[in-house]
């Protein structure tokens, strides 16, 4: 990351102020599967440094409840039971080629989908 991005942008990771705060007061408490880093200071303030673009949907549910002070134990230490019917967490795909589209997801049954019209 260039120095310009670090100083002047927040959507490409962290700002210079957050960098300094993390350097002097932050304690790294964990990293998730997206390589986001989670920090906490002595007063209990919690924050995340995103690995790429800053997007809140890139925080997995386990870390989301920790960062919002809903649990005190770290997700890496907590025992979260995963059920067989639960899907693996995936960030918000809106605006990407992987976004949900009912016509693309059911390629074999395109004729089953009919646009509503008042004549029907």
Domain assignment present for residue 105? The answer is no
pLDDT computed for residue 37 by the predictor: 93
* Residue 100 in domain: no
Sheet with 27-31: list strands edge to edge: 27-31, 37-40, 46-49
Q: Are 34 and 60 in contact (CB under 8 A)?
A: yes
pTM summary value: 0.71
80-104 tens-digit pLDDT: 888 899 888 888 888 888 888 877 7
Residue 38 DSSP label = E
Is 102 contained in some domain? no
Q: Cα 112 from chain centroid?
A: 35
Question: What pLDDT is attached to residue 48?
Answer: 92
- In the chain, the number of structural domains is 1
Radius of gyration of the chain (CA): 20
Residue 77 lies in a domain: yes
Kindly state whether residue 117 falls inside one of the protein's structural domains: no
- Residue 86's pLDDT is what? 87
Residue 112 lies in a domain: no
Q: Which of 24-28, 63-67, 109-113 shows the lowest per-residue confidence on average (mean pLDDT)?
A: 109-113
Does the pLDDT of residue 112 top 70, yes or no? no
The model's confidence at residue 8, banded by pLDDT at 50, 70 and 90, is low
Q: Do the domain assignments include residue 45?
A: yes
More confident position, 21 or 72: 72
Nearest partner of 51 among 64, 40, 36, judged by Cα: 36
In a domain, 32, yes or no: yes
Joined tokens for residue 12:
């490409």
Domain containing 59 equals 3-91
Give pLDDT, residue 6. 63
Whether 105 has a pLDDT exceeding 60, the answer reads no
């Amino acid at each position: 990351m260039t120095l310009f991005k670090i100083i002047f942008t927040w959507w490409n990771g962290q700002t210079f102020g957050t960098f300094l705060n993390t350097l002097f007061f932050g304690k790294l408490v964990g990293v998730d599967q997206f390589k986001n880093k989670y920090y906490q200071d002595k007063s209990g303030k919690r924050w995340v440094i995103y690995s790429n673009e800053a997007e809140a949907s890139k925080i997995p549910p386990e870390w989301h409840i920790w960062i919002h002070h809903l649990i005190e134990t770290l997700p890496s230490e907590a025992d979260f039971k995963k059920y067989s019917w639960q899907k693996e967490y995936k960030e918000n795909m809106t605006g990407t080629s992987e976004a949900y589209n009912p016509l693309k997801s059911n390629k074999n049954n395109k004729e089953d989908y009919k646009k509503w019209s008042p004549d029907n």
